[in-house]
Structure 1
Amino acid sequence: MAQRRMALSAGMAALVGAIVLATLLCAPSRALAVKRAGAFWSGLSREQKTDLILGIFDGFNLNENILGITLKNEYTICTDIMESIMRQSDAFFAGMPAGRIVTALDAFYTDRKNRNIPVSWGLWVVVRQNRKDPTVGDFLRELRALYP
């Protein structure tokens, strides 16, 4: 039993480590993210906006694939956790194709208080608003404070 708990703890530590590593490798720098905020968004054509959102989705997929391969090959105990995360991500974005996100972000950036929020965070806001997430207001206030 103690060995199983140690294996589980080691597996969870590996999972957290893999997530942090993948996030650092796949996430743009904070400076780049700030440059890709409201003014940047407003300067793009509809096609460019759609391409950007599709690129973000590709980044999500790459991140999931890297984690999935690493965990399946090295830490089989975490496979169920990774598969659950992938299912939850798919469910979270259900009903929000790229075109609908583009339209929602266009509306999001018409509010001047949102102009400095990076597109990557704006995406989370509009998807959470679509899902009627009761905590999205608090989340948006935090983002506005972080990106005044």
Structure 2
Amino acid sequence: MALVACLVLSISTQALAARPAEAAKRAGSFWLGLSREQKTDLVLGIFDGFNLNENILSITLKNEYTICSDIMESIMRQSDAFFAGMPAGQIVTALDAFYTNKRNRNIPVSWGIWVVVRENRKDPTVGEFLNELRAAYP
């Protein structure tokens, strides 16, 4: 039951932070109109948002749901490992290539980052994930 509460809290917080209407505006066409410097700043801003979200969740879980603290710390470690070795500049270059495909143009940049990092990690499920995103953002 505590695990379910932890997951619900985590998903709810992330859903509120995402603001789907704003994310949709920051998709491929928006990306392609930015300078290299602006693209790098946007990627760094998304990373800052990830860090802020992790910190808020960590504080909340430690104060309210101590049983979830270990789970959250594990998720943060795994996220850090997932992005390790892929600096912002490499993500910018990968997103430039990603958005040259017209089927990806409506996918928000925040999701595009997950795709290009998963591709870099040779994640075998990235194709299925990308198809789900293309269906969600036609």
Q: Is TM > 0.5 for Structure 1 vs Structure 2?
A: yes
Band of TM-score, shorter chain: over 0.9
Q: Which amino acid aligns with 2:15?
A: L
The CA deviation at 1:25 is 3.2
1:22 aligns with 2:13: yes
Q: Does 1:89 align with 2:79?
A: yes
Unaligned 5+ runs, structure 2: none
**2:50 aligned with 1:60, yes or no?**
yes
Deviation for aligned residue 1:64 = 0.6
After superposition, residues 1-148 of structure 1 pair within 5 angstroms as 9=1, 11-28=2-19, 30-148=20-138
Matched length: 138
CA positional deviation for 1:146: 1.8
The separation in 1 between residues aligned to 2:137 and 2:63, in whole angstroms, is: 39
Q: Output the CA distance in 1 between the equivalents of 2:69 and 2:62.
A: 6
Q: Letter of the 2:50 partner, please give it.
A: F
C-alpha distance in 2 between matches for 1:95 and 1:82: 22
Q: Quick check: which has more Rg, 1 or 2? A: 1
C-alpha RMSD of matched pairs (Å): 1.3
SS at match of 2:96: helix
SS of the equivalent of 2:63 reads: helix
Q: Which amino acid aligns with 2:58?
A: G
Structure 1 residues 17, 147: closer, same or farther in 2, change over 3 A?
closer
* Structure 1 SS opposite 2:85: coil
TM-score, normalisation: structure 2? 0.93
Map Cα deviations across residues 27-46 of structure 1 (whole Å, 9 max, x no partner).
Answer: 12x22222111110011111
CA distance in 1 between counterparts of 2:27 and 2:111 reads 9
